[in-house]
């Protein structure tokens, strides 16, 4: 009786081992002695919402991998010898039964969303996997000259678990790449593409491991649209500067009632400039160093404050010392104001360059 129970338990244990083996056991790579060569294809579909405040952008792309696994070879049916194809959820289920590389988006904000499109296995064991993913990678670049200048939109695809002893990446097709007009249709926003490049590199995953993991680096160099910088930053500040100078031509010594709109108008311009900077907060980079936009806004606010103080001084001189002294002071102020404005702006820009 005991022998019968022992044999029954042993048979059940063997059945469980066979049934659960795919759950706890890793599937060995196709070539145990050398890395499996995986060809990477990438099709950029959409790049948008380039956020200067957080240093990220949203990207959607189709991703393809192709490799050969002789263990999956089969006899073709018919003369065509076409592949076996799985789509959607069926492809995801089939992936659990075969060896396949897993690629992760490196250096992104949050988690990427990936969906399997299709899986095809050819009679010779060639495997083709197509996926689509959305991610929010971080971009690189100095934004000192904003609203002008360049940044590099970087995407890094790294092998998640297999080092270069198990898998090796090979560049396939990146689309679009050479046709910058097609790249411009992919990138949404006030950015103009200049160059698209990609290459294979390697990196370590932790300081405690010397293993190198293959990765694909994609760099898209873009330039901020010049006209957008002009009409969003330069033109509004120029109009504010001219309006502040125009208010100084209201001669309060001839008509004392002009003092109120002159002082009130300058105060309004100061508040307008500050509000403009807040409104453009999404467009302006949040960095630990000054940008050209910061210099322009700060110079404008300082000169508006000088204009406000000068108008108050003219009103005070008119009250205490009469119209002649106030008129002379007012003429000097409105003559020197644009000159001081330009000199301060040039000096600030030169110091900024240095």
Tell me: do 236 and 311 sit in the same domain. yes
Tell me: do 219 and 265 sit in the same domain. no
Does a structural domain hold residue 322? yes
Element (H, E) at 173: strand 167-175
Q: CA 147 to CA 167: how far, in whole Å?
A: 43
Backbone angles phi, psi at 188, to 5 degrees: -105, 140
- Its domain, for residue 165, covers 19-224
Q: What is the pLDDT of residue 110?
A: 62
Q: CA 263 to CA 22: how far, in whole Å?
A: 80
Q: How far apart are the first and last CA of the chain?
A: 94
Tell me: do 74 and 203 sit in the same domain. yes
Three-class SS of residue 220? strand
Number of domains in the chain: 2
- DSSP for 5-38, please give it: HHHHHHHHHHHHHHHHHHHHSPPPPS-SSSPEEE
Tell me: do 210 and 260 sit in the same domain. no
Q: CA 143 to CA 350: how far, in whole Å?
A: 17
Among 186, 208, 224, which residue terminates a domain? Answer: 224
- pLDDT < 70 stretches in the chain: 1-26, 78-80, 110-111, 206-209, 253-258, 281-286
Tell me: do 200 and 265 sit in the same domain. no
Contact 106, 156 (CB under 8 A): yes
Q: Given phi > 0 = left and psi -120 to 50 = alpha, else beta, which region is 231?
A: alpha
Tell me: do 160 and 76 sit in the same domain. yes
User: In terms of DSSP bridges, do strands 191-204 and 113-121 run parallel, antiparallel, or are they unpaired?
Assistant: unpaired
Q: CA 66 to CA 77: how far, in whole Å?
A: 22
Does a structural domain hold residue 1? no
Tell me: do 143 and 244 sit in the same domain. no
DSSP designation for 211: -
CATH number assigned to the domain comprising residue 297? 1.20.58.390
Q: What is the pLDDT of residue 25?
A: 41
- As beta bridge partners, residue 116 has 131
Among 172, 191, 224, which residue terminates a domain? Answer: 224
Does a structural domain hold residue 3? no
- As beta bridge partners, residue 314 has none
Does a structural domain hold residue 14? no
Among 169, 202, 224, which residue terminates a domain? Answer: 224
Tell me: do 321 and 345 sit in the same domain. yes
Of 245, 230, 232, 231, nearest in space to 304 by CA: 245
Alpha carbon 275 to its chain's center: 26
- As beta bridge partners, residue 37 has 168
- DSSP for 179-193, please give it: -HHHHHHHB-SSEEE
């Amino acid at each position: 009786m005991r022998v019968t129970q022992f044999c029954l338990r042993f048979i059940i244990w063997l059945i469980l081992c066979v049934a659960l083996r795919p759950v706890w056991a890793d599937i060995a790579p196709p070539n145990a002695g050398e890395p499996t060569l995986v060809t990477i294809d990438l099709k950029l579909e959409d790049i948008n919402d380039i956020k200067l405040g957080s240093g990220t952008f949203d990207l959607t792309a189709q991703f393809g991998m192709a490799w050969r696994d002789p263990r999956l070879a089969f006899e073709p049916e018919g003369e065509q010898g076409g592949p076996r194809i799985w789509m959607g959820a069926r492809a995801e289920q089939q992936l659990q039964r075969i060896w396949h590389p897993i690629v992760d988006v490196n250096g992104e904000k949050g988690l990427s969303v990936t969906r399997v499109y299709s899986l095809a296995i050819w009679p010779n064991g060639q495997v083709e996997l197509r996926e689509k993913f959305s991610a929010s990678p971080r971009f690189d670049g100095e934004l000192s000259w904003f609203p002008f200048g360049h940044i590099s939109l970087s995407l890094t695809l790294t092998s998640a678990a297999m080092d270069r002893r198990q898998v090796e990446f090979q560049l396939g097709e990146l689309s679009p790449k050479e046709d910058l007009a097609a790249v411009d249709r992919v990138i949404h926003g006030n950015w103009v593409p200049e160059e698209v490049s990609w290459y294979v590199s390697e990196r370590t995953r932790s300081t405690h491991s010397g293993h190198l993991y293959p990765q694909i680096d994609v760099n898209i160099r873009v330039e901020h649209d010049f006209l957008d910088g002009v009409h969003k930053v330069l033109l509004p500040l120029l109009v504010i500067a001219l309006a502040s100078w125009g208010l100084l031509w209201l001669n309060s010594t001839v008509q004392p009632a002009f003092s109120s709109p002159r002082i009130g108008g300058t105060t309004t311009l100061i508040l307008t400039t500050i509000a403009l900077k807040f409104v453009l907060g999404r467009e302006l980079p949040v960095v630990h160093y000054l940008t050209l936009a910061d210099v322009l806004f700060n110079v404008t606010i300082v000169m508006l404050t000088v204009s406000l103080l000068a108008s108050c001084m003219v009103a005070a001189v008119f009250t205490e010392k009469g119209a002649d002294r106030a008129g002379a002071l007012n003429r000097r102020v409105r003559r020197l104001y644009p000159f001081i404005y330009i000199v301060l702006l040039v000096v600030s820009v030169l110091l900024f360059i240095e």
